Amino acid sequence: MELKEAEFVRDYINEIKATYAVDLKDTSPMEQYMALGHLIKRYNGENWTDTSKSYRKNDVKQVYYFSIEFLPGRLLQSNLLNLGITDVVKKGLKNLGLNFDKIVRSEPDPGLGNGGLGRLAACYMDSMASIGMAGNGNGIRYRYGLFKQVFMNGYQVELPDDWLRNGNAWEVRRENRACLVKFGGHVWMQEQPDGSLKPVYDHTDDVLAVPYDTGIIGYHNVVTNTLRLWSAELPPNAEERYYSQKERDNIDDITKVLYPDDSNEQGRSLRLRQEYFFSSAGVQSIVRHYLSDHTSLKRFVQKVAIHINDTHPTLVIPELMRILMDEHDCPWDLAWQITTSTMSYTNHTIMQEALEKWPIEMFQGLLPRIYQIVEEINRRYRADKIPVFGEDIVDRTAPLGDGQVRMAYLAVIGSHSVNGVAPLHTELLEKDVLADLYRIYPEKFNNKTNGIAERRWLEIANQPLSKLIDSKIGKDWHFNPKLLQELSTFENDKKFLNQLVDVKKENKQRLADYVQSEMGITIRTDAIYDVQIKRLHAYKRQVLHMLEIIREYLEIKENPQADITPRVHIFGAKAAPSYHYAKSVIKVINALADLVNNDPDIGDKLKVVFIPNYGVSLGELIIPAADISEQISTASKEASGTSNMKLMTNGALSLATMDGANIDIIRAAGSENEYTFGLTAADVYGYYHRNDYRSKAIYDGNPELQKVVDSLITNMIPGISTEGREIYDSLLQYNDEYFVLADYADYVKQQKQISIDFKDVETWQKKSLANIAASGTFSADYSVARYAEDIWQVPYKLILK
């Protein structure tokens, strides 16, 4: 948008006065931030209305991306960037004597997600707007986001994330668009005047779903899409009916807090209520919106695509069936045809324990009408498929079985498309996790490799690098990140390679300053910054990284004179509060950090920093500073990974197993520019098949490994009690479920190679450049474009400049 500095300054001062009734000089950074947010929202108001109007006028097909998590990160900088007014606003604020960085940091980072899945949803929202696609997000407005993590005596402690305390500058409450969501009650069949029977659903517990909309601003294209998050409130008739405190609390609880478990928090009825709540409200508002412009449901599938982000919103399937049949008199077959043509589903995990299942009794009690519909889906599925495929496979794949509602199977059966998030992951879905359903519906399965918002992870997070790139290849890559490939023509340009070194150093300094001021640890910027940032999970193998630190520590202790390449090992990871083992890993790494960081023999050759409260904002600080990207999951377990892509585009070299999208990253950048190691997925499945993995044998055969592992139980690491033993036992007593010991030697070999290679600055920088240059293909812009073409069948305008 066009904006003159003087105009901005005038508007901003007025905004401050109008909102806070004080002079600028008396405002806090938080107030300065809020006023700026309000002003920008207002500036963008016309784009937002115009976008909605134009979609309406042209009757454009809409995509609704349903996700129980969205992790958008702070919006101020990204909105300024996308509107193209960053420089004007920065200059204006500077001339007013304000500190832009402080204002930026005053914005709370909405933690409405756990990790990869929620962040992916946010990257996709950004990209859908930026490629001019009518994409809407639909989710939950949690009153409290993912807990804030602090360490006390090295243990993770969870504090509430009160992110709405000062209000939210970007959202618009739309009470007039609220819907009623019904739980519990009874269903009975009522005879109609024409003699037919119709289900009547009464004595329900009703909850009012109030939408809060946030504009998602496209990059330099005047498009603003909508992210709609629902909040649970007392229904409007509250005055006529008495609600006990307990009933009020029950309603309040629905959207009070995000479940902080990203794998196996199973069977909680509140979680099911959350899932139905936003699924039902979302579908109701979609149908209502569609019918406000259309007189019949005939063209529904041409105008609406609904995407199910993992199984959590799967109830959109029976909910759309319910609305079509009960409220619009659609017969079953037509309703089913509309529903399956509308729905598509992405699976994000192959871990069996993360597949959602609900006890039938709970499900039926909470959602009796929806349960009837699921039963009928189940009955027809069996009747259709048993004659063709036989009873066994149909038993195994039916939506109802073993006394449970199986959400993944319901999602596959009720959708026309099922996709994995990286080629290997999709292959494993077909061969293993969903193999039976793949046999029944091969045509539904397809791959859509994940992508990231290049603009946030490079342009915003790493401005020094972004500007350097602009100076070499111009700015078109901002629209078309594949153009980053043009950088490879400069691989022998010594001056440019040196500039890349300087940029990395600047970013490392920024991180080092943070680590110094927040944690009191001094880290040198000429060390290798070896980074592992992701949720804490056994399969992601932070333990393998930890064993390497112990090995490096012992190496220096045994040979203090050795020529060591200095290293800083950097972790960021939250553990699910109920995940005991993950919390033990945090404790041991923190204790190890204390030992290493304070040992005078070690000095600054080796440092370990576990930065508390990892999230989007800390990612923006850490990722640009990384030299090494640790992507070391047990092969076959990480569906895709996306931090691997963010680190790549910021010039880190991957130290990676052949898992998830690592495989595609390695292929894109060239294996000579990464460090790969370890078992392949086929090796892992081979062990499963033969059942002959013995971690103890590997331990017995490797004396160095023995020393490293034993140090977990020898009191070498002060301050730990049972935690070292727990990890030790997981590796030896319980046969090392994630093959840590199997991959140890190969991993260490690559770590040693890294220490050697890092000293050759020029060669290293060339590899780093190869990663940056090849990273453009992992832009979420292309990912959503492929969803649009292959799955949603919606138009978009990729601006390729």
Catalytic residue among 357, 551, 646, 767: 646
What binding mask, one character per residue, do residues 353-382 give for ligand 26Q by CB under 6 A, x or -? -x-x--------------------------
Binding residue for ligand 26Q (CB under 6 A) from 201, 259, 685, 728? 259
Binding residue for ligand 26Q (CB under 6 A) from 78, 106, 114, 777? 114
Catalytic residue among 74, 534, 607, 766: 534
Closest CB to ligand 26Q among 206 and 265? 265
Nearest distance from residue 548's CB to ligand 26Q, in Å?
A: 22
Closest CB to ligand 26Q among 660 and 724? 660
Closest CB to ligand 26Q among 238 and 270? 270
Nearest distance from residue 262's CB to ligand 26Q, in Å?
A: 4
Q: Encoding tokens for residue 199?
A: 């289900």
Pairing of strands 567-572, 528-533: parallel
Catalytic residue among 38, 41, 540, 637: 540
Closest CB to ligand 26Q among 179 and 272? 272
DSSP 8-state class, residue 443: G
- Of the listed pieces 48-56, 112-120, 486-494, 702-710, which binds ligand 26Q according to CB under 6 A? 112-120
Closest CB to ligand 26Q among 139 and 235? 139
Catalytic residue among 143, 504, 535, 767: 535
> Which residues have CB under 8 Å from 634's CB, separation 6+?
539, 541, 657, 659, 679, 684, 738, 739, 743
- Of the listed pieces 15-23, 264-272, 620-628, 780-788, which binds ligand 26Q according to CB under 6 A? 264-272
Name residue 307's beta-bridge partners.
65, 344
User: Which DSSP string corresponds to 504-557?
Assistant: HHHHHHHHHHHHHHHH-----TTSEEEEEES---GGGTHHHHHHHHHHHHHHHH
Q: Encoding tokens for residue 96?
A: 């007013």
Nearest distance from residue 383's CB to ligand 26Q, in Å?
A: 30
DSSP 8-state class, residue 251: H
Nearest distance from residue 263's CB to ligand 26Q, in Å?
A: 5
Residues between 434 and 473 that touch ligand 26Q (CB under 6 A): 450
Binding residue for ligand 26Q (CB under 6 A) from 263, 269, 447, 485? 263
- Of the listed pieces 77-85, 329-337, 349-357, 717-725, which binds ligand 26Q according to CB under 6 A? 349-357
Q: Which of 774, 797, 775, 777 is nearest to 785 (CA)?
A: 797
- Of the listed pieces 48-56, 262-270, 458-466, 784-792, which binds ligand 26Q according to CB under 6 A? 262-270
Binding residue for ligand 26Q (CB under 6 A) from 11, 265, 375, 594? 265
Residue 262 within binding range of ligand 26Q, rule CB under 6 A: yes
Nearest distance from residue 274's CB to ligand 26Q, in Å?
A: 10
- Of the listed pieces 32-40, 80-88, 114-122, 160-168, which binds ligand 26Q according to CB under 6 A? 114-122
Closest CB to ligand 26Q among 108 and 116? 116
Nearest distance from residue 576's CB to ligand 26Q, in Å?
A: 9
DSSP 8-state class, residue 613: S
Q: Encoding tokens for residue 768?
A: 């780093």
Nearest distance from residue 315's CB to ligand 26Q, in Å?
A: 14
Lookup result for tokens 């409200």: 281
Examine the residue annotation and report whether 535 is marked as an active-site residue of this protein.
yes
**Residues 679, 698: Cα–Cα separation, whole Å:** 14
How many other C-beta atoms are found inside a 10 Å radius of the C-beta of residue 43? Answer: 17
Name residue 529's beta-bridge partners.
568
Q: Which helix (H) or strand (E) holds 746?
A: helix 740-757
Closest CB to ligand 26Q among 120 and 125? 120
Pairing of strands 62-66, 135-140: parallel
Residue 267 phi/psi, 5° resolution?
Answer: 75, 15
Examine the residue annotation and report whether 294 is marked as an active-site residue of this protein.
no
Please, what is the end-to-end C-alpha distance for the chain in angstroms?
18
Q: Which of 570, 581, 512, 712 is nearest to 264 (CA)?
A: 581
Q: Which of 359, 372, 326 is nearest to 380 (CA)?
A: 372
How many other C-beta atoms are found inside a 10 Å radius of the C-beta of residue 613? Answer: 19
Binding residue for ligand 26Q (CB under 6 A) from 112, 120, 232, 656? 120
Examine the residue annotation and report whether 534 is marked as an active-site residue of this protein.
yes
**Residues 183, 254: Cα–Cα separation, whole Å:** 12
Angle value at C-alpha 420, between 419 and 426, nearest 5 degrees: 110
Site size for ligand 26Q, by CB under 6 A?
24
Closest CB to ligand 26Q among 310 and 627? 310
Residue 541 phi/psi, 5° resolution?
Answer: 60, 45
Closest residue to ligand 26Q, judged by C-beta, is 116
Q: Encoding tokens for residue 169?
A: 């500058």
Binding residue for ligand 26Q (CB under 6 A) from 37, 110, 111, 115? 115
**Residues 569, 607: Cα–Cα separation, whole Å:** 6
Name residue 358's beta-bridge partners.
405
Residue 772 within binding range of ligand 26Q, rule CB under 6 A: no
> Which residues have CB under 8 Å from 141's CB, separation 6+?
112, 171, 212, 229, 230, 231, 255
User: Which DSSP string corresponds to 258-314?
Assistant: ----SS-----HHHHHHHHHHHHHHHHHHHHHHHHH-SSGGGHHHHEEEEEESSTTT
Closest CB to ligand 26Q among 261 and 723? 261
Closest CB to ligand 26Q among 452 and 568? 452
Examine the residue annotation and report whether 348 is marked as an active-site residue of this protein.
yes
Examine the residue annotation and report whether 25 is marked as an active-site residue of this protein.
no
Residues between 622 and 651 that touch ligand 26Q (CB under 6 A): 638-642
- Judged by DSSP in three states, 12 sits in helix
Nearest distance from residue 783's CB to ligand 26Q, in Å?
A: 10
Nearest distance from residue 226's CB to ligand 26Q, in Å?
A: 22
Catalytic residue among 41, 289, 348, 406: 348
Q: Which of 792, 681, 716 is nearest to 62 (CA)?
A: 792
Residues between 403 and 432 that touch ligand 26Q (CB under 6 A): 421
Closest CB to ligand 26Q among 33 and 358? 358
DSSP 8-state class, residue 646: H
Residue 279 within binding range of ligand 26Q, rule CB under 6 A: no
Residue 67 within binding range of ligand 26Q, rule CB under 6 A: no
Nearest distance from residue 683's CB to ligand 26Q, in Å?
A: 19
Closest CB to ligand 26Q among 142 and 764? 142
Q: Which of 108, 78, 93 is nearest to 32 (CA)?
A: 93
**Residues 780, 72: Cα–Cα separation, whole Å:** 14
Nearest distance from residue 585's CB to ligand 26Q, in Å?
A: 17
Q: Which of 179, 140, 147 is nearest to 163 (CA)?
A: 147
Sign of CA dihedral 289, 293, 295, 298: negative
| Contact between 112 and 71 (Cβ < 8 Å) | yes
Examine the residue annotation and report whether 228 is marked as an active-site residue of this protein.
no
Residue 261 within binding range of ligand 26Q, rule CB under 6 A: yes
Closest CB to ligand 26Q among 224 and 613? 613
Q: Which helix (H) or strand (E) holds 752?
A: helix 740-757
Nearest distance from residue 604's CB to ligand 26Q, in Å?
A: 34
Residue 117 within binding range of ligand 26Q, rule CB under 6 A: yes
Residues between 644 and 703 that touch ligand 26Q (CB under 6 A): 660
Nearest distance from residue 505's CB to ligand 26Q, in Å?
A: 30
Residue 79 within binding range of ligand 26Q, rule CB under 6 A: no
- Judged by DSSP in three states, 93 sits in helix
Q: Can you give the binding site for ligand 26Q, defined by CB under 6 A?
A: 114-117, 120, 259, 261-263, 265-266, 271, 348-349, 354, 356, 421, 450, 638-642, 660
Q: Which residues are catalytic?
A: 348, 534-535, 540, 642, 646
